[in-house]
Amino acid sequence: MTKQERADYVVDRLEELYPETPIPLDHSDPFTLLIAVLLSAQCTDIRVNQVTPALFELADNPADMAKVPVEDIKAIIRPCGLSPRKSKAISVLSQMLIDDHAGQVPANFEALEALPGVGHKTASVVMAQAFGVPAFPVDTHIHRLAQRWRLVPGKNVEQTESYLKRLFPKEKWSKLHLQIIFYGREFCSARGCDGGICEICRTVNKR
């Protein structure tokens, strides 16, 4: 298989397996999605979904969240890990949204990435899933699978994102991001596959 043939096979197979791609993080609007994605750093989506109901019951918008003491936020989100840093980021970004964006989450990569605790991957998820803007968020899991499937030579997530965006049509980026995550969790985890066990790995790595 050429690289493009491998890419085409991946798209077709993932579409068969995951025709629907529900967003794994529970949320009700761009703000709650932004907070959930921020909390998901080095934490599972399942754990985030267990924590956010209590947080959003306390405050589910920037104006209310900015009034909550950081220590109260930290106490709720502690199970997600990195709670001192994340709680401060949530508090500060909530105030920034009020001061700089009329209390709304901006639909703009640059503005999102200027918020504390919001890197390029988090901004990409929010842009894709909250605003429908084509984006290809790449985390270490997608980076690993893209390498296993011999789609990218990238040595880091930034390079992998660039290669994948050139390899796949823009209209497929946002959905494909989720499809790869779903497949990795179900069939091609870090320890569950060595690049030759799961179906896609076996197919694209035939010599």
The answer to whether the Cα torsion of 71, 72, 77, 79 is positive or negative is positive
Alpha-carbon distances, residue 78 vs 24, 63, 83, 105 (angstroms): 20, 22, 5, 24
Of 45, 60, 121, 206, catalytic = 121
Please indicate whether residue 86 is annotated as part of the active site: no
CA 152 to chain CA centroid, Å, is 19
Please indicate whether residue 72 is annotated as part of the active site: no
Rounded CA-CA distance 130/7 in Å is 26
Rounded CA-CA distance 40/36 in Å is 6
Of 139, 165, 170, 175, catalytic = 139
Residues with active-site annotation: 121, 139
